[in-house]
Amino acid sequence: MSRNAEGDLEVYVRPDLYFDGVFSSLVFTVRWDEADGISLGAISQPMPQMVYCPTAKSGPEHTSGPYRYQIFAGFGAVAMNNVGASWQAGDEVLIATIDVPTMAGSFELVNDAFTAGANGDYYISLNGEDRTGVIYTFSTAVPTSGEAVATGPVVWPNPAVDRLFVSGLPDGTAELEVTDAAGRTWLRERRTSIAGNIDRPLDITGLAVGAYVLIVRTEVGPAQQRIVVGRSE
């Protein structure tokens, strides 16, 4: 999940294999601070996603402890290939946009004690079988004047074959971690950033071809970027 230029939430799926069958069901929960006094607006979907997996709010918002929650659920019966749709491995697909009536607040997709008890844990079923992966999210905080928040790092080349360069970081120490769709860590290094650039490229020759997430942790906070590892021609 991320936040677009208008401040609305965008929810994506990122498959690790090709798929064009029935997107049978989807459940996810958005959490934010109750103290923000925010209620989420309407949910909308692009075509053909609204045909092969129509998604809506599942009940009202709930408050539990310091947090506010909204559960969403989608159910599909139309095969994606019947409406000319398919997923490619590693590509992000926008499933829904959720209106946020204010630029304030920070939101996240979660599995926690509340969602476990309210049938709100993240869940995906494809062709009627559980294919739930890992939740990934980018910073949804919108900065106020003079406030710094974590933003996505700039990574190139992407796709990459043997090494990655990273820029757009604050000066200082950065921890770089590469994980796969299951959340497994394949690479973790601590580096120095000078003038926004890491001091030397990341060696990714040990990674198999596929989609990964680069997680960058700095004093500003964590940020993420999808990366694709390709094969040399």
Are residues 205 and 192 in contact, defined by beta-carbon separation less than 8 angstroms? no
In a domain, 142, yes or no: no
Q: State how many domains the chain has.
A: 2
In a domain, 146, yes or no: no
Q: Are residues 98 and 49 in the same domain?
A: yes
- Domain span at 124: 2-130
Give the pLDDT score at 233: 53
Q: Are residues 18 and 95 in the same domain?
A: yes
Give the pLDDT score at 219: 81
Mind listing the pLDDT tens digit for each residue in 26-62? 999 999 989 889 999 999 999 999 999 999 999 999 9
Mind listing the pLDDT tens digit for each residue in 147-185? 443 455 778 887 888 888 888 788 889 899 998 877 788
Give the pLDDT score at 138: 59
Q: Are residues 26 and 62 in the same domain?
A: yes
In a domain, 104, yes or no: yes
pTM for the complete prediction?
A: 0.64
88 CB-side CA count, 13 A: 3
CATH at 159: 2.60.40.2550
Give the pLDDT score at 141: 56
Give the pLDDT score at 116: 93
Phi and psi at 114, nearest 5°, equal: -65, -50
Beta strand pairing status for 62-64 and 55-57? Answer: unpaired
pLDDT band at 139 (very low <50, low <70, confident <90, very high): low
Q: Of 34, 23, 25, nearest to 70 (Cα)?
A: 34
Give the pLDDT score at 82: 96
**Of the candidates 130, 164, 199, which is a domain's last residue?**
130
pLDDT band at 196 (very low <50, low <70, confident <90, very high): confident
Q: Are residues 65 and 121 in the same domain?
A: yes
DSSP 34: G
